[in-house]
Structure 1
Amino acid sequence: MEVVLMVVYENPWFRVMREDGFHFVDEPTSKQGAAVLPLVGNSLWLLQMHRPAQKMAMTLEVPRGYAHEGETSRRCAARELQEEMGLSIDPRSLQYLGKVRPNTAIMTACIDLYVARFHGDVVVGQRDREASGLASIPLERLPIWLGEGHVQDGFTLAALSYYFAAQRITAAASQVTTPVA
């Protein structure tokens, strides 16, 4: 049986595809997309975003976006961080965390996740107006914020999951002892 793939709707950012009765969203520019977890001193910085699709007054999210033509996901992460938060960083200093596929049932997107670390006295530059503001959450309070549901964005939660897993792996590795001969 032949698989028939058809474009149902298309705009500059995504297209809705149909394959054998199943519909999904294809975001062609997502292949080099990135989201970046900004740690500033002992705090996590998040964007305060208004998302009409969520019918919410405000969401808290990490900077994210899709790469420009010829741009790597690492460079995309650094650019998004600068554009949305006013934080400049050398892309090579970003730590890769992993990938997230936001909704495997209906989206083709696969986004790389990074963490960016800054000293507490970082200088914030000019930023675009995509976000209505910035929020700073002390890392020691972050589990409480998460438990209370203040952060619901999937990209942010995925980046935090990878980050916390990496912290536990590092802590476990430092506790490994070498047997004495």
Structure 2
Amino acid sequence: MLEIVYENNWFSVAKEENWHYLIEKKSSNGAVILILEDNKNFILIKNYRKAINKVVIELPRGYGEINETSLETAIREAYEETGYKIDKKNICKLGSINPNSAILSSEVDIFFAKVSINDRIKGSDLEVIDIIKIDKNNIKQFVINGEIKDSFTLSALHLYDLNYQN
């Protein structure tokens, strides 16, 4: 029998038999977006993550708003965190992931968008420390060097490789 042992605005802790796991309340329309500018640079952000007490390099992502699709979430998060306005015709879904299937019940969609430097029409919001551009030919070195460790970002880059690389 499922029992909720703790609850707040973002998640519930569920207990079922001997297992505990988190139910993220807004994850059903959460999204991650990999942005490629002018077929040259991936657009990433630097963000402070309290849980690991570090500044990390990651992709824009977030929970969806009420009545928002994951596609709409991806477009909104890209705009809020990077300032890029993405047209729906320039975005596609790469796949979905379960970020940590041992303790999270969530599934998050991963999107890919092509943009032009002219599509950046504003600065980022206050959630983001910095916006960084990494040449698509050098991105793997950031992973190998341990500069990119975020699981959403690693998953998105892998799905991109599977879909677009030879």
Bin the TM-score by the shorter chain.
over 0.9
The answer as to 2:25 corresponding to 1:17 is no
Corresponding residue of 1:49: 47
What corresponds to 1:65 in structure 2?
62
Structure 1 equivalent of residue 82 of structure 2: 85
CA contact (8 A) 1:26 1:109 kept: yes
Distance 1:24 1:92 in 2: 37
Q: Give 1:8 deviation, angstroms.
A: 1.1
Aligned to 2:32: 35
* Cα-to-partner distance string for 1:98-153 (whole Å, 9 max, x where unaligned): 00100001001100000111124443414211011111111111111111111001
Distance in 2 separating the partners of 1:166 and 1:102: 20
TM-aligned CA deviation for residue 91 of structure 1:
3.0
Structure with the higher helix share, 1 or 2: 1
Within-5 A mapping of 1:1-181 = 4-41=1-38, 42-56=40-54, 58-168=55-165, 171=166
Question: Which runs of 5 or more residues in structure 1 are unaligned?
Answer: 172-181
What amino acid does structure 1 have at the position aligned with 2:113? A
Larger Rg: 1
Deviation at 1:24, TM superposition (A): 0.2
Q: CA RMSD in A?
A: 1.2
Q: Deviations over 1:63-102 (max 9, x none)?
A: 1111111111001100000111111112343111000100
Which letter maps to 2:41? Answer: S
Report the 3-state secondary structure (helix = DSSP H, G, I; strand = E; otherwise coil) of the residue aligned with 2:6.
Answer: strand
Distance in 2 (alpha carbons) for counterparts of 1:20 and 1:92: 46
Q: TM-score, normalised by structure 2?
A: 0.94
Mapped to 2, the partners of 1:95 and 1:44 lie a distance apart of: 15
Aligned counterparts of 1:155 and 1:129: Cα–Cα separation in 2: 21
Q: Which has the higher strand share?
A: 2
**Partner SS state of residue 65, structure 2:** coil
8 Å Cα contact 1:38-1:44 kept in structure 2: yes
What's the CA shift for 1:40? 1.0
For residue 174 of structure 1, what is the aligned residue in structure 2?
Answer: none
TM-score, normalised to structure 1, is 0.87
Q: What is the aligned residue count?
A: 165
Q: Aligned partners of 1:79 and 1:107: how far apart in 2?
A: 24
Is residue 90–residue 115 contact of structure 2 (8 Å, CA) maintained in 1?
no
CA–CA separation in structure 2 for the residues paired with 1:100 and 1:69: 21
SS class of match (1:143) = helix
Secondary structure of the residue aligned to 2:104 is: coil
Identity of aligned residues (%): 33
